[in-house]
Amino acid sequence: MSESRRFLNIPVQFDYSPVEEKCACCFYFPSYATNHRTDSFPFFCVRSRVSFPISLSFSFCCLCIRYDFGHIFINERERRPHMEKIGLPKELAIKIVKGDGKRVIAVFADPNCHYCQQFEDGLRQVDNITIYVFPYNILSVDSMYLSHAIWCSPDPAKAWDDWMVERKRPPAAKPGCAFPNDDILKLGEELQIRATPTIYFADGTREEGSIPPEALEEKLDSIK
């Protein structure tokens, strides 16, 4: 699927057609990769800092966008200015509090996402933080069932941690317990979230992908 929008007041072409192979420039989120031919112009991937010659064919991820006036591919995450502070609907999130909980992040995560699980494992080394987890089920139907079961468990925060770190699957949700899956998916679409995990910070910035605990601590300490 292709879509034209204005980005930073510049006409931009977005392509979201899925392919099987990984992105040849940065191997980033292969499930969202798109095919682009370089027959008539060169490419540059900001994420890998690699330039590609003309007359070659690669598969590029959806986070690479084309400037209509220059035909240059760059990574949307690195080009986009830090997002303005936004208010996320906390009623759609699982709230996890560690220590005094003074530092706050919000995470859009799929329970079957390996990088989300990696990020959650690293969070065990981070204290004094409140985490709002938005179960963003984009990988499979099983992700929705898992999130539903976690949401409806007696202690959703513990159930989420048990699954993401220990792989302890929660019991199936009881009949009558509603889970706002559609609302969370709609929110993710409005925020143009294309990958998990996507992490929002209190200063309004966001990062995509698993962040090591040391880098997360550094980021949190930089927020005043």
Q: Can you give the pLDDT at residue 90?
A: 93
Q: Stretch 101-115: mean pLDDT, rounded?
A: 96
Q: 134-182: per-residue pLDDT in tens? A: 999 999 999 999 999 999 999 999 999 999 999 999 999 999 999 999 9
Is the pLDDT score of 14 beyond 90?
A: no
E-strand ranges in the chain read: 2-7, 10-15, 33-37, 43-45, 50-52, 57-61, 64-67, 73-75, 94-98, 103-109, 129-135, 198-201, 206-208
Q: φ and ψ at 104, to 5 degrees?
A: -130, 135
Q: Can you give the pLDDT at residue 87?
A: 73
DSSP state of 30: G
Residues in the chain: 224
pTM: 0.64
Domain spans, the chain: 2-79, 90-222
Rounded CA-CA distance 48/171 in Å is: 42
Q: Provide the 3-class DSSP secondary structure of residue 16.
A: coil
Q: 30-76: per-residue pLDDT in tens? A: 333 333 333 333 333 333 334 433 333 333 333 333 322 232 233 33
Q: Can you give the pLDDT at residue 224?
A: 74
H-assigned helices in 57-209? 76-79, 114-123, 141-151, 156-166, 181-190
As beta bridge partners, residue 33 has 61
DSSP state of 102: -
Assigned CATH for 90-222: 3.40.30.10
Q: Stretch 87-96: mean pLDDT, rounded?
A: 93
Q: 165-224: per-residue pLDDT in tens? A: 999 999 999 999 999 999 999 999 999 999 999 999 999 899 999 999 999 999 999 997
Q: Do the bridges between strand 198-201 and strand 103-109 make them parallel or antiparallel, or are there none, so unpaired?
A: antiparallel
Of the chain, the percentage scoring pLDDT greater than 70 comes to 62
Is the pLDDT score of 84 beyond 70?
A: no
Rounded CA-CA distance 101/127 in Å is: 8
Is the pLDDT score of 112 beyond 60?
A: yes
Is the pLDDT score of 77 beyond 80?
A: no
Q: Which two tokens stand for residue 101?
A: 């909980």
